[in-house]
Chain A
Amino acid sequence: MTEATKQFFATLPARAPHVLRGPVTGTLRIDLSDGHRTEHWVLRMRPGAIEVGQGPAEADSIWYCGVDLFDRLVTGRAQALAALFRNESTFTGNVVLFLAFRRFFPPAPGTQDPRKVAREQVRQAR
């Protein structure tokens, strides 16, 4: 597990009140693999809250993901749905949980507020 991934999981409970606002309840397990060993992260979600645990627990859905890809996701350098569509990561179970969880992922490094960019460009054009 990378340092970024470790920090990401550590901050989830504090971020949940702002991020998990939709009608989502259930357990998502993320199986993080580096090709040799697999870590199981268990995320029990409900509106406004998330509990983070570890171990091969029962879950409503399971997301299989490589350690490297997950590091890119938690640092905004990859996008979760595209990774599923190219089968770089895979998923079984209730996808609503996955869609809710992806909201924890940040934007790409260096992303600017589009309003700031647009207003600057309009000013320059005048």
Chain B
Amino acid sequence: MTELVSILDGNTFLVSDRRGDIEPSLDFPTGLFAFDTRFLSTWLLLLDGERLQPLSIDDAESYRTRYFLVPGEPSHFLDTKVSIIRSRAIGDSFDEELTVLNHSGKEMTFTVRLEIAADFADLFEIKDTQSKHGDHAITIENGALRLTYRREAFHRETVVRSSAPAAVDKMGMTFSIRIGPHGEWTTRLEISTVIYGARGEDVRNRLPMAGSRSTAAIQAEHAKLVANAPKLGCDCEPLADAYRRSLEDLAALRYESIALGVRLMAAGLPWFMTLFGRDSIITSLQVLPFLPEIIPPTLKMLAGLQGHRIDDFRDEEPGKILHELRYGETAGFEEQPHSPYYGAADATPLFVILLDEYERWTGDSQLVKQLEYPVRAALTWIDTYGDLLGTGYLWYRTRNSRNGLENQCWKDSWDAICYSDGQLPGFPRATCEMQGYAYDAKLRGARLARLFWNDPQYADQLEREAAELKERFNRDFWLPDKEYYALALDGDGTPVDALSSNMGHLLWSGIVDESRAARVAEHLLGPRLFSGWGVRTLADNQGRYNPIGYHVGTVWPFDNSIIAWGLWKYGFRQEAGQICESMLGASRYFGGRLPEAFAGYERDLTEFPVQYPTACSPQAWSAGTPLLLLRVMLGLEPKGEHLIIDPYVPPGMGRLELLDIPGRWGRVDALGRSRRDDDG
């Protein structure tokens, strides 16, 4: 029973097995989580002492699941005299309705038992919950079971109540029930999670939006987000499915920030249900043409939490944009650096890029003016603390030797940055795509300075610096014998010569010399990098290549969406279309929901994309991928007060129309159609 079902609403989520039970797991976050704490680690349903078996599961909506269960092990003869419906939803609290149905013609008695426990594990310590520093307590009050955890002033509680009378003990609740012929019995269980803050109140009571988020409210909010998005009409069914699924997942991944009382986008279930700088910015860039209203809270929050001092534990420096924010016990007691952690060298230029792109689409000059100083601080960081070695590039090297990130680019696993022969370079490291982002950030910063900050001198300076960076980069990163850009420079300035997908981001940034763009495109779509389902993170002839290696061979949908954007920018429409086609082809095998990553096996070999074992799903920037691909295929680009529409729809995809695209032009429609083969 390892297959897991998840429901979520923002950063509260629940992961259980296919009968709805939760058992403590040491390798995967099963349980009920809120704000990085596990509030339920055991939640087992027994009927007359027996576990139940699932007949079917209805999980069409992200915040609600319904299980249809019967007693008996799978090998037993199915006892059809009784069945159970377990219907649950996540909103303000976790609610579960248990209904026992007597299918026989006579009165029956049953013992329904719920085993309940909470270990209050931090998401970072579920593999080792024995070493918790605080104290657990269990009390029974007025028929409710109250599970408490305290460590100094840190205080969290789970309270379980039942609408039907129950015999409550410290391990759970028991119901002795009698049901008439063809009758039913129901109880409603309410599980509240409490995070104590100021004056002993739940901190979330202080949030403007919290307190009354019923299931109906969530449903209304999701419906509103989907209703506000442009309408897609197309002949390509996988695209229609992926678009619909993406909008629903993006709605579900929004969560309420404790700090701002606004809705932000969490990065991915189950490991990343929190704010990430890089993920939230990339997702924002992907969804901007569709859901511009979700961008300002993200930008403001990242600006509010911008680094302000040097902090070695958190890899923080003045002007730097955060990598990851966590609210749990390990963050609070500084066992993990996420309060927030700043170990990302790319989030800072990406922050500048997002603000400029946002203004181009929406014309919201007020936000650009409001964020002038955070953006200036970000641009200053690029040339000061970001340029760790003073050589004109963005470098990273963690100063937290205990639990800092070795790699502070999007490929942040330990072995992601390697030479072609598989060896690992020393530190600091300067990966290529970060230099592209820095280049783009300078040009975009120049535009903002000239148009909105009344500072043409600064604009000139930034443009000059960008031009110098482009020249320097094309000299130092290009490998003339291999004809591609190095993945990185090592601490000596030697190119790290692996063939990787990072080059595709360079096209998006515009830092690639025109004369080299075609060669870069050939590599990206060539047999070493392109699997048939997408561009691999690392080419299959490299030393460290592994088709199921997290950043050394898998295919990442978000990576491919940025690559497609870059190919389009340099005029490679057919190649961009090929990536769109392959991604949408892959999405069919995941029910329209692209996972974080899938395996890099050759398309001919497996005939379907193989999911990466522990990939997060839904994942925000994977959900954003179909949206960006739509933009690429329709060729949507704001210019002044207008939206340029220049479609190139891949062969076989047929008609594509996107209605009511929001922006500074109001709402406009875009139409495209595949060229027929005989059109040439």
Contacts and interface: CB of A to CB of B under 8 A. Distances in A.
A92 B206 contact: yes
Contacts, number: 115
B311 interface: yes
B399 A114 contact: yes
B403 to A, nearest CB: 14
B272 to A, nearest CB: 18
Contacts of A103: 308-309
A76 B314 CA distance: 14
B334 interface: yes
Nearest to A48: B373
A118 B397 contact: yes
Interface residues of A, number: 41
Contacts of B339: 79, 81-82, 85
A9 interface: no
Contacts of A92: 198-199, 206
B332 A87 contact: yes
Contacts of B199: 64, 90, 92
B435 to A, nearest CB: 17
Contact of A21 (B198, B340, B373): B373
A105 B609 CA distance: 50
Contacts of B491: 122, 125
B426 to A, nearest CB: 7
A106 interface: yes
A120 B334 CA distance: 28
A115 B390 contact: yes
B110 interface: no
A26 to B, nearest CB: 13
B310 A107 contact: yes
Contacts of A23: 370-371
A109 to B, nearest CB: 12
B115 to A, nearest CB: 30
A114 B259 CA distance: 29
Given A22-B303, A118-B428, A86 B374 contact: no
Contacts of A102: 308
Interface string A89-126: 01111011001101101111001111101110010011
Contact of A126 (B371, B373, B388, B492): B492
A76 B309 CA distance: 10
B197 A87 contact: yes
A107 B399 CA distance: 14
Given A82-B331, A86-B154, 8 more contacts: A23-B371, A82-B333, A85-B327, A87-B332, A88-B332, A95-B304, A102-B308, A118-B388
